[in-house]
């Protein structure tokens, strides 16, 4: 079969010269390329590649004007495998016993089996590269995100050549045994993992732009190139034989649904736009807001601003909702959140029935992934005792140069929500302010909450603090896990475990 693939490669050499995506390299440049991939090749101008080529262990992919061999970057794979088999397996500490090391080295160097083993394998290693070269024009642009076209050829002509080549190449792949090549693909995955086992990092790099991947060096880069060779082969057989093989990061068995939960899909490379945010999240590289927090009214808005001074650094976006058309706007905002897989936090007052109905409607339709806090009856009285509100209002008056005594001596017995509190305050305050709520009021309440995190009348933590924690933790919380496993209690709006579907 290796001769058949080689023959096909030679037969299509003119097509490949027009469609090739990676340029072939002279020996010196090829040595540098292989060395930069973390493979210990010997040489500078000349070295191991030329030696292996003369032995018949390494195929060339052309020749320069002097007749010297040129090598495609994929030929790094046979170089890697040959050098693996050339390793003597002598521990570094053996140099402390020179007499034993000399004897062992002599024995290993005169072992003819090693050369015979290499000669038995090199045909297969080169055959793998030959097939990858046949498939490079079809799938390499998908892997790297760009297409290389020869100079002087229009895009339309290039696409015409590529279309004709695709039909022939896929027909050729249909004649190959998928079972044999699936085992080869598995071997490539495992060999890449042996070279560098950071498979999740490979996925992150694979969805990154090609310029960054191409500039990588070391064993990580070598493993990445082997996996990309494997991906070329996988994509061809999947298209030609209508099969689904494991993707190139899968060097171990995954639990059912684990890839979808962690990576966003069972096969993240099929949709890198979807899997990219999951991988970025796994590495703590989330950009933009992790949560959008919708608060009702100026008081809560400025209270949260006072506490979360560095909210942008932890991915919190704060939105003040207005009464006018709030329900319709909330629906649109929540749709945006779901599109960006961004958590939604909603804080609202129960004493406004219109808000209760609007939030419940969104909750029942499954539009909220995050947290909902229903202040009973409103933000002020859910978080503060009336005596605390009185003292804060009195201090605001005193800060403006008025006496706060009138506020402190007033009768607050029948005041039970923020609206009646403000009405009573404006009636008794020496400041004669037309209103109380706003930035000064919200920030002053926040300062009190920071000073005393628990309400003194019932000795429990103020609800504001659980909301703050929820917003901060959004950056490290798993969006899909919460969407799948949690919902909201229809009466309390609290987060509860989602019932399991009945069989």
**In CATH, what number is assigned to the domain containing residue 307?**
3.40.50
Cβ atoms of residues 57 and 119 within 8 Å? yes
Q: What is the mean pLDDT of residues 393-414?
A: 93
What angle (nearest 5°) sits at the alpha carbon of residue 234, between those of residues 17 and 250?
Answer: 135
Q: What is the mean pLDDT of residues 154-162?
A: 91
Q: Is residue 283 part of a domain?
A: no
Measure the CA–CA gap between 436 and 473, rounded to whole angstroms: 32
Residues 374 and 455 both lie in one domain? no
Query: pLDDT band at 466, cuts 50/70/90?
Result: very high
Question: Which of 76-80, 88-92, 128-132, 342-346 shows the lowest per-residue confidence on average (mean pLDDT)?
Answer: 88-92
Residues 155 and 17 both lie in one domain? yes
Q: Is residue 282 part of a domain?
A: no
Residues 370 and 434 both lie in one domain? no
Q: What is the mean pLDDT of residues 321-337?
A: 79
Q: Is residue 411 part of a domain?
A: yes
Measure the CA–CA gap between 467 and 101, rounded to whole angstroms: 67
Q: Is residue 285 part of a domain?
A: no
Altogether, the residues listed in the chain come to a count of 503
Which residue would you say has higher pLDDT here, 322 or 386?
386
In three-state form (DSSP H/G/I as H, E/B as E, the rest C), the secondary structure along 332-395 is HHHHHHHHCCCEEEEEEECCCHHHHHHHHHHHHCCCCCEEEEEECCCHHHHHCCHHHHHHHHHH
Q: What is the mean pLDDT of residues 129-154?
A: 93
Q: Is residue 502 part of a domain?
A: no
Q: Is residue 72 part of a domain?
A: yes
Residue 240 neighbours by CB under 8 Å, 6+ apart: 170, 173, 174
Q: What is the pLDDT of residue 207?
A: 84
Query: pLDDT band at 259, cuts 50/70/90?
Result: confident
Q: What is the mean pLDDT of residues 1-13?
A: 84
Sign of dihedral through CA atoms 35, 137, 62, 132? positive
Residues 295 and 417 both lie in one domain? no
Query: pLDDT band at 101, cuts 50/70/90?
Result: low
Residues 182 and 37 both lie in one domain? yes
Q: Is residue 425 part of a domain?
A: yes
Query: pLDDT band at 408, cuts 50/70/90?
Result: very high
Residues 108 and 219 both lie in one domain? yes
Which residue would you say has higher pLDDT here, 268 or 235?
235
Q: What is the pLDDT of residue 112?
A: 56
Q: What is the mean pLDDT of residues 139-166?
A: 91
Q: 296 - beta bridge partners?
A: 321
> What is the CA 48 to chain-centroid distance, rounded?
39
Residues 345 and 449 both lie in one domain? no
The answer on pLDDT for 277 being more than 80 is no
Residues 218 and 135 both lie in one domain? yes
What angle (nearest 5°) sits at the alpha carbon of residue 395, between those of residues 393 and 401?
Answer: 115
Residue with tokens 């939105």: 319
Q: What is the mean pLDDT of residues 329-337?
A: 89
Out of 272, 306, 341, a domain closes at 272
The answer on pLDDT for 108 being more than 60 is no
The answer on pLDDT for 323 being more than 70 is no
Q: What is the pLDDT of residue 286?
A: 59
Q: What is the pLDDT of residue 283?
A: 72
Query: pLDDT band at 324, cuts 50/70/90?
Result: low
Q: What is the pLDDT of residue 107?
A: 59
Percent above pLDDT 70 for the chain: 91
Residue with tokens 């493979």: 39
* 360-395 pLDDT per residue, tens: 999 999 999 999 999 999 999 999 999 999 999 999
* 205-253 pLDDT per residue, tens: 888 889 989 999 999 999 999 999 999 999 999 999 999 999 999 887 7
Cβ atoms of residues 321 and 296 within 8 Å? yes
Query: pLDDT band at 273, cuts 50/70/90?
Result: low
Residues 470 and 322 both lie in one domain? yes
Average pLDDT, rounded, for the chain = 89
Residue with tokens 């909902």: 372
The answer on pLDDT for 503 being more than 70 is no
Residues 9 and 40 both lie in one domain? yes
The answer on pLDDT for 351 being more than 60 is yes
Query: pLDDT band at 274, cuts 50/70/90?
Result: low
Query: pLDDT band at 111, cuts 50/70/90?
Result: low
Q: Is residue 59 part of a domain?
A: yes
SS3 78: helix
Domain that holds residue 218: 2-272
Number of domains the chain contains: 3
Best mean pLDDT range from 14-18, 183-187, 193-197: 183-187
Structure tokens at 162: 């590529």
Residues 10 and 39 both lie in one domain? yes
Q: What is the pLDDT of residue 79?
A: 97
Residues 235 and 137 both lie in one domain? yes
């Amino acid at each position: 079969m290796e001769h058949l693939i080689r023959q096909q490669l030679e037969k299509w050499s003119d097509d490949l010269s027009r469609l090739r995506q990676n340029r072939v390299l002279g020996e010196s440049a090829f040595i540098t390329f292989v060395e930069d991939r973390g493979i210990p090749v010997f040489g500078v101008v000349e070295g191991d590649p030329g030696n292996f080529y003369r032995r018949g262990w390494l195929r060339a992919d052309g020749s320069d004007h002097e007749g010297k061999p040129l090598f495609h970057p994929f030929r790094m794979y046979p170089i890697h495998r040959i050098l693996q088999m050339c390793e003597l397996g002598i521990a570094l500490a053996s140099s402390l016993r020179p007499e034993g090391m000399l004897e062992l080295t002599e024995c290993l160097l005169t072992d003819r089996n090693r050369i015979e083993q290499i000669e038995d394998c090199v045909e297969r290693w080169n055959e793998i590269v030959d097939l990858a070269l046949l498939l490079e024009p079809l799938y390499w642009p998908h892997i790297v995100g760009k297409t290389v076209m020869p100079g002087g050829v229009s895009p339309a002509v290039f696409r015409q050549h590529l279309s004709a080549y695709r039909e022939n190449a896929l027909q050729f792949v249909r004649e190959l045994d998928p079972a044999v090549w699936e085992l080869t693909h598995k071997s490539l995955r495992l060999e890449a993992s042996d070279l560098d086992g950071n498979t999740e990092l490979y996925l992150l790099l694979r969805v990154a732009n090609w310029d960054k991947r191409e500039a990588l060096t070391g064993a990580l880069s070598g493993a990445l190139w082997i996996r990309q060779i494997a991906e070329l082969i996988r994509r061809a057989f999947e298209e030609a034989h209508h099969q689904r093989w494991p993707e190139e990061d899968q060097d171990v068995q995954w639990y059912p649904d684990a890839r979808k939960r962690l990576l966003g899909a069972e096969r993240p490379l099929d949709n890198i736009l979807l899997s990219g945010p999951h991988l970025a999240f796994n590495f703590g590289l989330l950009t933009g807001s992790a949560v959008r927090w919708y608060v009702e009214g100026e008081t809560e808005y400025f209270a949260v601003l006072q506490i979360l001074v560095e909210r942008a650094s932890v991915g919190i976006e704060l939105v003040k909702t207005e009464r006018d058309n709030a329900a319709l706007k909330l629906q649109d905002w929540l749709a945006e959140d779901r599109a960006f897989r961004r958590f939604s936090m909603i804080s609202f007052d129960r004493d406004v029935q219109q808000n209760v109905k609007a939030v419940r409607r969104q909750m029942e339709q499954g539009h909220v992934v995050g947290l909902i806090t229903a202040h009973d009856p409103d933000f002020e009285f859910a978080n503060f005792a009336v005596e605390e509100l009185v003292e804060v209002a009195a201090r605001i008056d005193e800060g403006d140069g008025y006496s706060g005594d009138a506020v402190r001596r007033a009768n607050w017995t029948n005041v039970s929500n923020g609206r009646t509190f403000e009405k009573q305050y404006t009636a008794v305050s020496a400041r004669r302010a037309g209103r109380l709520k706003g930035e000064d009021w919200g920030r002053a309440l926040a300062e009190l909450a920071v000073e005393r995190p628990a309400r003194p009348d019932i000795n429990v933590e103020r609800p504001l603090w659980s909301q703050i924690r929820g917003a901060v933790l959004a950056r490290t919380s798993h969006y899909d896990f919460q969407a799948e496993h949690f919902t909201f209690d229809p009466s309390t709006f609290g987060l509860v475990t989602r019932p399991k579907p009945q069989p």
